[in-house]
Amino acid sequence: MTRFRTVVLLFLLPLSLIAQPAPPLERLVSIDLRNETLSQALAKISQAGKFSFSYNPALLPANRTVTLRATKRPVRDVLGQLFGGSIRLRTRGNHIILLRADEPEQPKDFILDGYIIDGQTSERVGAVSLFERTSLRSAVSNEYGYYRLKLPATLSVVRLEVRRQAYLSQSLTIPSRRSQPQNIYLTAIPRPTVIDPLDTRPLPTDTASRPTPMLTERPVVFASADSGVVAMPASFLERSRQTLGRWTLSTKQLINSINLDRDTLYRTWQVSLVPGLGTNRSLGGRIINDYSINMFMGYALGVRKMELGGFMNLIREDVRGFQAAGFGNLVGGNTQGVQLAGFMNTNQGNVGPVQLAGFINTVGGNVRGFQAAGFTNVTRGTANGVQLAGFLNTNRQTVQAVQVAGFANVAAADVLGWQIAGFTNVVQGQLTGWQISGFLNKAQDVVSGRQVGFINVARSSEKAPIGFLSFVKENGYRNIELSANEITTLNATFRIGVRQFYNVFTAGLNPTTNVWSYGYGLGTATADRRGWSFAVEGMVHQLNRTNLFIDDANLLLRLSPTVVKQFGPRIGISVGPTLNGYYTEDSALSPLANISLPAVVVRDNNALRLRDVWSGWLGWQAGLRVGL
């Protein structure tokens, strides 16, 4: 979009001529001089252009006569034909000052100047790029189509390249190495033929010979061949590159980058202070360097071996080798090698094998290798290797890597590898590997590996997740059970996870003894065989009284082997013995004090008369289960 705006702006530049009077040298005049002296010729030119000349009469040869005919030609062009390069021109207000052009005996440079003209319409063309490949000297024509280019006189061959959008490229050989006017005529690129849209009117029919149809006939409408194209919004990386380019590049550099989009220049090395102030001059956007050193900021088409930047490196296409910047690297293509930045690396294409940034790495393509950032790594393509981030790793496509983040790892597609995060891991596709987090793991399908975290969530899982709470939607294990045991006669238990490993949440009450409990545990169960299955659960319960709250620990550890019989797809009963170990901090305040349990006592704490003691017994449990 930025490129489109720039091109439109360049085409509209000549309209500014209507808004304000042109400078004296750019005014168009029509004159017909026949054997007239130079003083008479200047008088007629000033009268036609409505300005005045200021000069020393000694500059004009007294006996020289001129013959010249010009129709709507710029004053600068007319004076160039009269004097050649012997007179220098200056303007002050509405006056043109003529000065002697004192050229050195052996000039180091010579000047080409003139106008860029449309060969078909004879209109002057602005925003045209002119450059010489060897010296990298360049110029851009102004809104009046005028250009001025200084070239070294030591060039063996002077070949002037002319580029402009919507015009054919030209390559001109300049025979002499002296200052001279040189008008250049451009040929416009023919516009493509516009194809008329198809005639979609329905064929005429004789409605009188047949009954009116029940359905209304509608003609099929085809899109016109010249219909507008809906532009896709630019990505964040592209918008960043365009915005930074507008901030750091001059108008001349931006115009050259647009006009020279099919030209590539090569240099072994370059040194620059900022874009435009360096050995690449104003053509940096079209030059590929082997070695690049930028004191503050650099701008180039590409780098093939090494680039160092004090603040930032701005590369339009690819980087190979080593690239380092004090603040950031902004690359419009691929980076193959080592990329280091104190704050950020932004790449539109692929990156590998090493990318390091103090704060953020942003990659529009794929990452292959080692990527690390102090805060976050953002990858729109695939990742293969290792990703380390102080806060977040996020990927939009497949990850075949080890991801480690202080807060979260987020993958929008499949993950084949490891995700380790301080808070959460998220995979929106298949997980073939491990997820380990401090709080939440979420995956669409766990094909292999495991989820290890406080909470684990998956649509399906081939392996048992490990955590405080694990939810598997499709092949998970969930049921609610109402049961009784020797301590609490009314119990509600919820099991969730997978058969191989599930979580148990339970609460119970005995209205007769005023004992209530809550607990948590883990369990495993075999698959159903003819309606029978076997499960083993380990539980931890905290006991208390309904009529007296006790702050002390009263822990009941219970191991429960259970036999389950299914009566249909959801209903089943369970029964089995329990092995119990009970610990109380104060036997006098124990909820089980002075209560006779219907169980086989293995060790009685009351008989030992100890305040802090363990006891144990063999108990029982039975219940009714409903699958969810």
User: Is 5 part of a structural domain of the chain?
Assistant: no
pLDDT at 555 over 50: yes
Q: In which band, very low, low, confident or very high, does the pLDDT at 332 lie, cut at 50, 70 and 90?
A: very high
Across 579-592, average pLDDT: 86
The enclosing domain of 82 has a CATH number of 3.55.50.30
User: Is 238 part of a structural domain of the chain?
Assistant: no
User: Is 583 part of a structural domain of the chain?
Assistant: yes
Q: Of 57, 79, 102, which residue constitutes the final position of a domain?
A: 102
> By percentage, how much of the chain surpasses pLDDT 90?
64
Six-digit token string for 579 = 């092995």
Say whether both 537 and 395 belong to one domain. no
Tell me if the pTM is above 0.85. Answer: no
* Count of CB atoms situated within 10 Å of the CB of 125: 26
Q: Of 189, 206, 222, which residue constitutes the final position of a domain?
A: 189
Tell me: the pLDDT tens digits for 281-326? 889 889 999 999 999 999 999 999 999 999 999 999 999 999 999 9
Q: In which band, very low, low, confident or very high, does the pLDDT at 224 lie, cut at 50, 70 and 90?
A: very low
Q: What pLDDT score was predicted for residue 538?
A: 96
User: Is 149 part of a structural domain of the chain?
Assistant: yes
Across 128-153, average pLDDT: 93
Cis? peptide before 204, omega within 30° of 0: no
The enclosing domain of 606 has a CATH number of 2.40.160
Q: What pLDDT score was predicted for residue 193?
A: 67
Q: What pLDDT score was predicted for residue 63?
A: 80
Q: What pLDDT score was predicted for residue 618?
A: 92
* Mean confidence (pLDDT) of the chain: 86
The enclosing domain of 163 has a CATH number of 2.60.40.4130
Q: Which residue has the higher pLDDT, 229 or 78?
A: 78
Q: In which band, very low, low, confident or very high, does the pLDDT at 6 lie, cut at 50, 70 and 90?
A: very low
User: Is 242 part of a structural domain of the chain?
Assistant: no
**β-pairing verdict for 490-498 and 477-485:** antiparallel
pLDDT at 55 over 70: yes
User: Is 548 part of a structural domain of the chain?
Assistant: yes
Six-digit token string for 151 = 């070239």
Across 175-198, average pLDDT: 82
Say whether both 544 and 429 belong to one domain. no
Say whether both 407 and 536 belong to one domain. no
Say whether both 93 and 174 belong to one domain. no
Tell me: the pLDDT tens digits for 79-93? 988 887 788 899 999
Tabulate helix, strand, coil % of the chain (nearest 5): 15, 50, 35
Say whether both 343 and 305 belong to one domain. yes
Across 586-602, average pLDDT: 77
Q: Integer distance in angstroms from the first to the last C-alpha of the chain?
A: 55
Q: What pLDDT score was predicted for residue 197?
A: 66
Q: What pLDDT score was predicted for residue 403?
A: 97
Q: What pLDDT score was predicted for residue 178?
A: 85
Q: What pLDDT score was predicted for residue 22?
A: 86
User: Is 166 part of a structural domain of the chain?
Assistant: yes
Q: What pLDDT score was predicted for residue 603?
A: 59
User: Is 225 part of a structural domain of the chain?
Assistant: no
Say whether both 582 and 438 belong to one domain. no
Q: In which band, very low, low, confident or very high, does the pLDDT at 106 lie, cut at 50, 70 and 90?
A: low
pLDDT at 258 over 60: yes
CA-wise closest residue to 40 among 23, 72, 63:
63
30, burial (CB in 10 Å: exposed 0-12, middle 13-18, buried 19+):
exposed
Say whether both 146 and 85 belong to one domain. no
pLDDT at 599 over 70: no
Q: In which band, very low, low, confident or very high, does the pLDDT at 247 lie, cut at 50, 70 and 90?
A: low
CA-wise closest residue to 410 among 432, 455, 423, 459:
423
Say whether both 58 and 136 belong to one domain. no
Q: What pLDDT score was predicted for residue 241?
A: 55
Question: For residues 411 and 403, what is the distance between their CA atoms, to the nearest angstrom?
Answer: 10
Q: Are 217 and 150 in contact (CB under 8 A)?
A: no
Say whether both 74 and 29 belong to one domain. yes
Across 233-249, average pLDDT: 59
Tell me: the pLDDT tens digits for 504-536? 999 999 999 899 999 999 999 999 898 899 999
Q: In which band, very low, low, confident or very high, does the pLDDT at 201 lie, cut at 50, 70 and 90?
A: low
CA-wise closest residue to 377 among 352, 399, 345, 420:
345
**Rg (the chain; Cα; Å):** 43
pLDDT at 168 over 80: yes
Q: What pLDDT score was predicted for residue 17?
A: 41
* Largest pairwise CA distance in the chain: 143
Q: Are 463 and 446 in contact (CB under 8 A)?
A: yes
244-258, 482-496, 520-534: range with lowest mean pLDDT: 244-258
Q: For residue 112, give its domain range.
A: 104-189
Q: What pLDDT score was predicted for residue 231?
A: 39
pLDDT at 4 over 50: no
**β-pairing verdict for 613-627 and 571-584:** antiparallel
Across 540-562, average pLDDT: 91
181-185, 244-248, 499-503: range with lowest mean pLDDT: 244-248
Say whether both 312 and 393 belong to one domain. yes
Q: What pLDDT score was predicted for residue 542?
A: 95
Q: Of 434, 465, 496, which residue constitutes the final position of a domain?
A: 465
Question: For residues 371 and 351, what is the distance between their CA atoms, to the nearest angstrom?
Answer: 9
Q: What letter represents residue 604's amino acid?
A: D
How many domains is the chain partitioned into structurally? 4
Q: What pLDDT score was predicted for residue 210?
A: 47
Residue 42: enclosing H or E segment and its boundaries?
helix 38-49
Tell me: the pLDDT tens digits for 265-277? 999 999 999 998 9
Q: In which band, very low, low, confident or very high, does the pLDDT at 107 lie, cut at 50, 70 and 90?
A: confident
Say whether both 540 and 522 belong to one domain. yes
Say whether both 269 and 410 belong to one domain. yes
